[in-house]
Amino acid sequence: MGTDEPAQRNNPTYRSFETSAAIIKRAGWKIRHPMIENIPDEASAQAFIKTLLRRDKRQNQEESRFRLLCIKVDDRSQIPKQQPTVDTAAEARWINSEFGSFIQKGTVGSAVLTETGDISLIVQTPDDDLPFLTLSMREIHTEGRQRRSDWVCLFFIGPDIDLESLLHETVFPSDYSPLSPDFMFLPVRILKNEVEQVGRELKELKKLVLKGDDRLLSKDLASLDCVKNELFELGKTHLKLRDRWLFAKGLAENLVKCFSEIARLQEKDIGSNSSSSGSKATYSKILMQRVETQMAMSDILQLDLDAIPPKIKQQHKTIDTKLSIMIAEDTRRDSSSMKTIAVLTLVFLPATAMASIFSMSMLDWQAKDGDTVVSSKIWIYAVVAVVLTCVVLVVWILWFKWTQKKYDKKMWNDIETADNPNSKETT
């Protein structure tokens, strides 16, 4: 049983949603309680794609209908494995022919495609640890009718994205006339979520970067090395958020392009009516304003995105300066073994000098039996040697302490300068 549970947890889940502009209008231009149906398996999901809805005026399913198949996966690597469903969607004209390669190659971004006069919007988020999704929304135009198109959507989402929250209480634009309603409210809602997500993550990143300023005051080598590693991680997080920001910015631009293309194509079909009124048909101002709002919010986020890298770079520079000073100090202290050898030399130097200067023969190895081998004046050598040794050691210790104190004072002044790089300029 322990091996079966992960396999069940990793299996994709399939859900469907169907509505129409008429149904949404009767609900006050909102999807208040989205009727999302669970689909048991992949074969049933493919059957849902192949099924053609009958136009039923009594159920408000006559025109401007919207059908969505949502495939929820635990990991984005599972999306390319849904190729049979993607192939079925291609055969049923649910997706553009480019969408399959878009998935297989892991292409990041969005694009507006036109094929046989129908419009497609494809979207795929960057490959990072944030919530991911892949979407294809396509217009299906019925020949022989005025351009009151249906829309279909193949939607892959990760475990952190909730389909109900994307649909529930979303205000549907009511200002399409004279154009036909579409269902671009869904990618517009996705855009809003992306911009808000980047804003939240960026706010947390700024807190962590500013928190690093306090930790730079540490005088511990290991702590500073840890801060440096954290700064590298913050730099990677910034790159991730910048990629997400660029993705959202590109999605907003493509939505504007898609809106213009929809209006252009529909205006051809209602050209006679628009020419008689003398006014040009325009796309929904409500949706356009929503996209423009998110574009404005993205411009605000750009200021913070541009301000963070110099701050991280300055912190790296400060840490490198402090680490260099501390490493130099550790290197100097590691030379204590050489100082020990020097001290031993100092200890033996006075006695050696005395023996050389006075050329004394302290021991008479040729003495006859009964005579003293050691000279009676040897105490003079011992006294003078000990006194000179003590004097030399005292002088050396005093000199060493004086230089040590002077060096320590200079080192901490350098570290304080590293903490406040502008202090020299102000003085």
- Are 280 and 384 part of one and the same domain? no
Domain end residue (candidates: 144, 172, 200) = 172
Over residues 160-165, the mean pLDDT reads 93
Identify the helix (H) or strand (E) that includes residue 382.
Answer: helix 378-419
- Are 384 and 315 part of one and the same domain? no
Domain total in the chain = 3
- Are 99 and 51 part of one and the same domain? yes
- Are 320 and 392 part of one and the same domain? no
Asked which of 240-244, 249-253, 256-260, 361-365 is least confident by mean pLDDT, the reply is 361-365
- Are 73 and 205 part of one and the same domain? no
- Are 287 and 325 part of one and the same domain? yes
- Are 97 and 150 part of one and the same domain? yes
The pLDDT of residue 89 is above 90: yes
Distances (CA, A) of 153 to 31, 93, 98, 238, 341: 16, 11, 15, 32, 82
**CATH number of the CATH domain containing 260:** 1.20.1050
Q: What is the pLDDT of residues 215-234, one digit of tens each?
A: 776 667 677 788 888 999 99
- Are 314 and 361 part of one and the same domain? no
Q: What is the pLDDT of residues 290-317, one digit of tens each?
A: 999 999 999 999 999 999 999 999 888 8
Q: What is the pLDDT of residues 137-156, one digit of tens each?
A: 999 876 554 556 889 999 99
Nearest to 13 by CA among 120, 136, 191, 161: 161
Q: Where are the beta strands (DSSP E) in 47-202?
A: 65-72, 109-115, 118-124, 133-140, 150-157
Higher-pLDDT residue of 117, 50: 50
Q: Where are the beta strands (DSSP E) in 146-192?
A: 150-157
What 296-304 contacts at long range (C-beta under 8 Å, 24+ apart), as own/partner pairs, is: 297/195, 297/199, 298/195, 298/198, 298/245, 298/248, 298/249, 298/252, 301/195, 301/198, 301/199, 301/202, 301/245, 302/245, 304/202, 304/206
pLDDT at 371: 63
Q: What's the mean per-residue pLDDT of the chain?
A: 82
Q: Tokens 């060493």 sit at which residue?
A: 400
- Are 278 and 341 part of one and the same domain? no
Domain end residue (candidates: 172, 204, 235) = 172
Asked which of 99-103, 133-137, 403-407, 415-419 is least confident by mean pLDDT, the reply is 415-419
The pLDDT of residue 349 is above 70: yes
The pLDDT of residue 237 is above 50: yes
- Are 93 and 147 part of one and the same domain? yes
**CATH number of the CATH domain containing 28:** 3.30.460
Domain that residue 268 falls in:
176-333
- Are 38 and 152 part of one and the same domain? yes
Domain end residue (candidates: 157, 172, 187) = 172
Q: What is the pLDDT of residues 184-216, one digit of tens each?
A: 999 999 999 999 999 999 999 999 998 877 777
- Are 267 and 400 part of one and the same domain? no
